[in-house]
């Protein structure tokens, strides 16, 4: 999922200051799962914002709504009327959701209420970890299903660096050494020979180093 974190209230308050009627728009998919922008977070933020603005003597009408996804037109349309009757939208989606709303409603300011952080997983209750940087050329088969690009502090494709201690990374002892994990996993799978092959420098054009990317599925174009 895409993991994000709600922006601090003080920053949100500053961003919405110029508007009299605001729609706080949640997204019911990734940001809901990471407690940044689902229905509950929309309700909590709406109350907090109302309270703090009232204390400051500012009048603002706030409407709340959460749709299934802000990155898909089918769901975005459900918000069309609410968007039309407000001066601005504070989107609690990831950066893609914010931009998709802005693309479809070009006369309404769409403000981000979430800092989008990474593609990750819920490793355990309350802990989200980065697992993929969307490099566009997945090599997980070589690495036993553990991504050194996302999870090794030095992004080494031919690791380890030799600095890990007790299975922890020398850069950040709070995280597991990705290469230790890769070696352990390849051992379990009987695939340690994978490491005999030198991995050449990666061609980063398939990642965002090659500029904005797009995916065309001819078979889905009508
Ligand atoms: S190799 Fe690339 S696509 Fe695969 S998990 Fe790592 S960053 Fe993501
Ligand atoms: S200790 Fe492990 S995770 Fe940390 S930089 Fe070295 S190889 Fe990468």
Instruction: Check whether residue 108 and residue 151 sit in a common domain.
Output: no
Instruction: Check whether residue 105 and residue 148 sit in a common domain.
Output: no
Nearest CA to ligand 1 atom 1: 138
Instruction: Check whether residue 201 and residue 143 sit in a common domain.
Output: yes
Å from CA of 168 to ligand 2 middle: 8
Say what the pLDDT of residue 101 is: 98
Å from CA of 37 to ligand 1 middle: 26
Instruction: Check whether residue 109 and residue 174 sit in a common domain.
Output: no
Residue 13 vs residues 44, 56, 115, 132: alpha-carbon distances, Å:
14, 11, 15, 32
Low-confidence ranges of the chain (pLDDT < 50): none
Q: Of 68, 87, 118, which marks where a domain is finished? A: 118
Please name the residues in contact with 35: beta carbons below 8 A apart, sequence gap of 6 or more. 41
pLDDT tens for 23-75 read 999 999 999 999 999 999 999 999 999 999 999 999 899 999 999 999 999 99
Pair 149, 131: CB distance under 8 Å:
no
How far is residue 149's CA from residue 140's CA, in Å, rounded to a whole number?
Answer: 10
Considering the domain boundaries, does residue 199 fall inside one?
Answer: yes
Say what the pLDDT of residue 222 is: 84
Å from CA of 121 to ligand 2 middle: 20
How far is residue 66's CA from residue 10's CA, in Å, rounded to a whole number?
Answer: 22
Report CA 114 to chain centroid distance, whole Å: 9
How far is residue 117's CA from residue 98's CA, in Å, rounded to a whole number?
Answer: 14
* Among 36, 13, 35, residue whose Cα is nearest residue 114: 36
Which one-letter DSSP state was computed for residue 7?
P
Instruction: Give the ligand with the smallest distance to the CA of 142.
Output: 1
Considering the domain boundaries, does residue 124 fall inside one?
Answer: no
Question: Number of folded domains in the chain?
Answer: 2
Instruction: Check whether residue 64 and residue 146 sit in a common domain.
Output: no
Instruction: Check whether residue 96 and residue 28 sit in a common domain.
Output: yes
Nearest CA to ligand 2 atom 6: 161
- Confirm or reject: Cβ of 119 under 6 Å from ligand 1: no
């Amino acid at each position: 999922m895409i993991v994000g974190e709600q922006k601090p209230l003080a920053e949100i308050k500053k961003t919405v200051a110029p508007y009299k009627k605001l729609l706080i728009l949640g997204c019911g998919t990734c940001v809901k799962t990471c407690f940044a922008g689902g229905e509950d977070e929309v309700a909590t933020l709406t109350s907090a914002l109302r309270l703090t603005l009232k204390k400051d003597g500012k009048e603002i009408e706030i409407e709340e709504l959460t749709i299934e996804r802000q990155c898909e037109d089918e769901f975005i349309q459900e918000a069309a009327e609410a968007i039309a009757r407000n001066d601005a939208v504070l989107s609690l989606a990831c950066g893609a959701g914010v931009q998709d709303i802005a693309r479809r409603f070009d006369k309404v300011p769409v403000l981000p209420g979430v800092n989008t952080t990474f593609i990750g997983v819920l490793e355990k209750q309350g802990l989200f970890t980065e697992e993929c940087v969307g490099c566009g050329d997945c090599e997980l088969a070589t690495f036993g299903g553990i991504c050194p690009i996302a999870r090794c502090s030095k992004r080494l494709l031919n690791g380890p660096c030799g600095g890990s201690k007790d299975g922890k990374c020398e850069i950040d002892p709070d995280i597991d050494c990705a290469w230790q994990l890769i070696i352990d996993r390849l051992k379990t799978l009987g695939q340690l020979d994978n490491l005999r092959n030198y991995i050449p420098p990666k061609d980063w054009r398939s990642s965002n180093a090659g500029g904005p990317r797009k995916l065309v599925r001819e078979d889905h174009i009508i």
